[in-house]
Amino acid sequence: MTGRIPARALRLAAAGFGAAAMLAMSAGAASASETLYSNQPAAKPKPGNVVSQAFEATSTSEFGGEVELAGGPHIAQSVQVGMSSWACETGSWTGPSECVTAKGAKFEWPLTVNIYNVGPANTIGSLIKSVTQTVKIPYRPSQNNKKCTGESAGAWWDMYSKECFHGKFAKVSIKLGKVSLPAQVIVTVAYNTSDYGAVPQRPQPCNSTTAGCPYDSLNVAVAEPATETATPTVGSDPAPADAYLSSTWGGAYCDGGLAGTGSLRPDLGCWLGYQPLIAIKGM
């Protein structure tokens, strides 16, 4: 399982098996590293994994949310995005070959961060900035056949939380340069998978391996209700029940695709507590 399935509580890829079985310019001088918005989890202890929005599994090419920067308009310099990697270096947690990953192994893949103005009634306004950057993303660790058994078979063991996870949480940072942002913006993440995105990648050599292509097992991390990520620690969520989504599958949307599929649009009403995990830094 690498992504959401239709129904709000089930459409998101579960983080692990602890809660549920598996089947988100100020006027004065400021520091250049000032955090302008963040709903990212605390740096320590970093979670083993979090719930997430899949791309390949839900026919998705772009996903994001609306944010409000602390203190009004700012100059932004970078966007940090939370990701959930379910990719094994070799094999697969679903079998038949075991999931095996060398310690610290990573793959590289280009991610695009888009920042839009907010249009009337929270629609998508004009594009402010689009940046594509190749980032290093960790493979999930090898499966632990002693600690993770039964319904968590194939998962890896997180020694800090004492839990089994199929995916691994990671933060990646995209440099923006210096871009002026209004107080409220829409921030989205886009990338290609084998069958979706601006440039679908199939066929590639990895499509014929048991591990598959690592970007097909890459998800955007989201906040989760009743956790520290549910409410931003810096800034706020102006539309906490809404997201912005481009998917060719109607089931990915709150309305079942009635308002259209295949292009980025507001997805209204069923995302409360499940906003994408991002942090915006600047001055």
For residue 9, give every residue at least 6 positions away whose Cβ sits within 8 Å of its Cβ, in sequence order, or none: none
In angstroms, the CA 22 to CA 264 distance is: 28
Residue 205 resides in a domain: yes
Contact in structure between 274 and 237 (CB atoms under 8 Å) = no
pLDDT at 29: 39
Q: Across the 283 residues of the chain, what is the mean pLDDT of every consecutive 10-residue run?
A: 41 59 33 86 89 98 98 97 98 93 98 98 97 98 97 96 97 98 98 98 97 98 91 97 98 97 98 97 97
Nearest to 168 by CA among 88, 85, 44, 103: 85
Distance CA 189, CA 194 (A): 17
Rg, C-alpha atoms of the chain: 18
Non-local (6+) Cβ contacts of 260 within 8 A are none
Give a yes or no: residue 153 inside a domain.
Answer: yes
Record the pTM. Answer: 0.90
18 in a domain, yes or no? no
DSSP 52-118: EEESGGGTEEEEEEEEE-TTS-EEEEEEEEEEEE---SBS-TTSSSPPB--TT-EEEEEEEEEEEEE
In angstroms, rounded to a whole number, what is the distance separating the alpha carbons of residues 162 and 147?
9
Q: Under a CB-based contact definition with an 8 Å cutoff, are residues 189 and 243 in contact?
A: no
The tokens describing 121, both together, are 């009634």
76 falls within a domain: yes
The answer to whether residue 259 is domain-embedded is yes
Q: Output the pLDDT for position 15.
A: 75
Query: Which residue is it, tokens 């079985």?
Result: 21
Give CB contacts under 8 A, 24+ apart, made by 28-34: 30/283, 31/283, 32/77, 32/282, 32/283, 33/281, 34/74, 34/281, 34/282, 34/283
The span from the CA of 44 to the CA of 52, in Å, is: 20
Answer yes or no: is 55 within a domain: yes
User: 152 lies in a domain?
Assistant: yes
Look up the domain containing 93 and give its range: 34-114+129-282
Number of domains into which the chain is organized: 1
Would you say residue 119 lies in a domain?
no
Angle at 177 between CA 70 and CA 240, to 5 degrees: 35
In this structure, are residues 8 and 253 in contact, taking their beta carbons and an 8 Å threshold?
no
Q: Is the dihedral of CA 37, 39, 45, 49 positive or negative?
A: negative
Q: Tell me, what's the pLDDT at 25?
A: 28
271 touches 240 (CB < 8 A): yes
At 188, is the secondary structure helix, strand, or coil?
strand
